């Protein structure tokens, strides 16, 4: 999960450059998922295409996983940051572990260790410190609504990944999930209207890399391989061993990695309060891991 969080954060470098160049968030999500689907499908065929067979009873769950858990998570996030500060959108998105824990406790009547609640509390509190949410302006209602929808979609991703990995390999699950997401975007946003000039245009990376220019296709390839295929495969592999609730809490380390990368490459610095927030998130992740180890 920690390696996956690093991958998602690294993929954000390319996404940030393209978004600042006014590439539409939904089109960026579309080419990201389509490229990842093609790579995963190729690997799956080489590794053994029999693993792609599905039962009729799995179709509904795979559709929910692909459309809500993958297609909508990224698009809702990109949509939300048009109306909210990125830090605030991330905070709302990472309320997902809270909704997962509440769902497991009160809907599925499962035991949740008190340590898990403490882990969620520490991790979420640390994210609040990292975002310095109190320094922002008033929140746009539509942005808040979409950001919470993103949190619920992320919770869906973790819960259905936990369910589906019981009978599927990580490669099989992500090939189907991202493949369904790619088809979903192809229907919603026809490819003949895609702004293909972003593939051939050259972009300045900015920050400490301001002297480096890269063609759009290399940035998109970076997003697909480093920021999508690799971390998604790592995530579903981790969920098989950790559970949805524990994995979602550990996933809260992603904003820390994103901040560290921004400090290193984009000359964005941490304040003392944000550094304290990083430490608090790590405490939360430690407690969540202890809760998993002592779970009944």
pLDDT tens, position by position, 240-263? 888 787 788 788 787 778 777 767
Distance CA 130, CA 88 (A): 10
Both tokens of residue 7?
């991958």
What separation, in Å, do the N-terminal and C-terminal C-alpha atoms of the chain show?
22
Distance CA 67, CA 234 (A): 20
pLDDT of residue 32: 93
Positions in the chain short of pLDDT 50: 295-296
User: What does R_g of the chain's alpha carbons equal in angstroms?
Assistant: 19
pLDDT of residue 119: 84
Q: Are 261 and 226 in contact (CB under 8 A)?
A: no
Chain length of the chain = 296
Distance CA 109, CA 94 (A): 23
pLDDT of residue 87: 64
Number of domains the chain is built from = 1
pLDDT of residue 49: 82
Range of the domain at 252: 2-293
DSSP at 203 = E
pLDDT of residue 185: 96
pLDDT of residue 217: 96
Give the whole-number percent of the chain exceeding pLDDT 70: 92
What is the 3-state composition of the chain as percent helix, strand, coil, each rounded to the nearest 5?
Answer: 80, 0, 20
Positive/negative CA dihedral, 242, 91, 5, 164: positive
Q: Are 8 and 231 in contact (CB under 8 A)?
A: yes
Q: Could you tell me the CA-to-CA distances from 91 to 131, 138, 220 in Å, in that order?
A: 7, 15, 26
pLDDT of residue 295: 47
pLDDT of residue 77: 82
Q: Are 167 and 53 in contact (CB under 8 A)?
A: no
pLDDT of residue 266: 62
Distance CA 204, CA 216 (A): 10
214 backbone dihedrals φ, ψ, rounded to 5°: -135, 140
């Amino acid at each position: 999960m920690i390696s996956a969080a690093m991958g998602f954060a690294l993929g954000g470098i390319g996404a940030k450059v393209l978004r600042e160049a006014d590439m539409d968030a939904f089109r960026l999500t579309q080419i990201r998922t389509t490229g990842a689907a093609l790579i995963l499908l190729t690997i799956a065929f080489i590794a053994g295409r029999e693993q792609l067979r599905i039962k009729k009873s799995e179709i509904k769950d795979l559709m929910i996983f692909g459309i809500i858990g993958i297609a909508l998570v990224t698009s809702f996030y990109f949509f939300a940051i048009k109306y909210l500060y990125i830090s605030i959108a991330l905070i709302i998105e990472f309320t997902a572990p809270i909704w997962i824990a509440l769902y497991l406790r009160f809907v599925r009547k499962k035991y949740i260790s008190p340590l898990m609640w403490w882990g969620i509390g520490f991790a979420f509190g640390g994210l609040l410190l990292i975002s310095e949410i109190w320094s922002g302006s008033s929140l746009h209602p539509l942005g808040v609504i979409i950001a919470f929808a993103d949190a619920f979609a992320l919770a869906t991703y973790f819960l259905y990944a936990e369910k589906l990995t019981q009978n599927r390999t990580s490669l099989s699950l992500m090939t189907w999930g991202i493949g369904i997401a790619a088809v979903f975007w192809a229907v919603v946003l026809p490819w003949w209207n895609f702004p293909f000039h972003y593939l051939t245009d050259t972009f300045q990376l900015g920050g400490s890399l301001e002297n480096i220019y890269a063609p759009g296709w290399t940035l998109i390839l970076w997003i697909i391989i480093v920021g999508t295929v690799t971390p998604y495969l790592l995530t579903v592999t981790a969920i098989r061993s950790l559970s949805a609730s524990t994995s979602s809490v550990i996933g809260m380390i992603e904003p820390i990695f994103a901040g560290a990368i921004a400090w290193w490459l984009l000359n964005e610095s941490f304040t003392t309060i944000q550094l304290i927030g990083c430490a608090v998130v790590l405490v939360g992740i430690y407690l969540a891991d202890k809760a998993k180890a002592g779970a009944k």
